[in-house]
Amino acid sequence: MRQISFSTISLKQLREIVDIKPEMDETVFDKWLHYVYEISEEEVSFLYGLLEDERLLISGFSEEELKAKFIIPILNKVNFQVGGLHDWYERTLRGVVNGVEIGGKTDFLVATGIKEPEKPYFFIQEFKPSESSSSPQDQLLGELLVALHLNNESQMLGAYVLNELWRFLLLVKNNEERYTYYLSTGFNCLNKEDLKQLYASLQGVKADIMQRL
């Protein structure tokens, strides 16, 4: 059986496995990116403090520095560890799609499970500097495709991070062979308003997952 790793997967390879193409439609993200969440003064203070601490250094962060000093604090503040959900780092995900095994380690995922992830709901990729030659978008697409098959669902949401820039990506299964993916507008986390909107959107992601459990 042919095997492909998330770390090396490309859109070209994905298109050899399934019919997948991009489309433009920002409205598909409305329930997450326009989620009504009242950020508390304490949360605003936390976000602004994090921004002030790291804004001069973030563009030069290594993969691990970006994760430890900026991304993980935000995700911990959102707190996905509720209602049987857990957040997981560097966990393996694997599945077979049209006779091809796709898998590898995921940077971050929200899933049910106790000692290991069981049913995945949300992914974040890539925690790598923007000059990286690999494509976080393609890797994320691979992860979402596998998750759709494991969950037997019609859509899966994720996000990828390039230094201060975050973008959401939605993969939709139209039928057994055809898929469409959508990219959101980017959030520049060096901008205070973007950072608050990103935080509210992640809270929207959590709320949506809780409704689906």
State the Cα–Cα distance between residues 16 and 200, nearest whole angstrom: 37
Instruction: Answer whether residue 64 shows pLDDT above 80.
Output: yes
pLDDT (0 to 100) of residue 210: 95
The model carries a pTM of 0.93
pLDDT tens digits along 144-166? 999 999 999 999 999 999 878 99
Per the structure, the count of domains in the chain is: 1
Are the beta carbons of 102 and 145 closer than 8 angstroms?
Answer: yes
> Averaged over 69-76, what is the pLDDT?
93
Residue 14 near residue 138, CB atoms below 8 Å: yes
**Residue-level pLDDT at 127:** 61
Give the structural domain span for 16.
Answer: 2-212
Confidence grade of residue 122 (pLDDT, cut at 50, 70, 90): very high
Residue among 80, 97, 102, 86 nearest 9 (CA): 102
Q: What is the pLDDT of residue 62?
A: 78
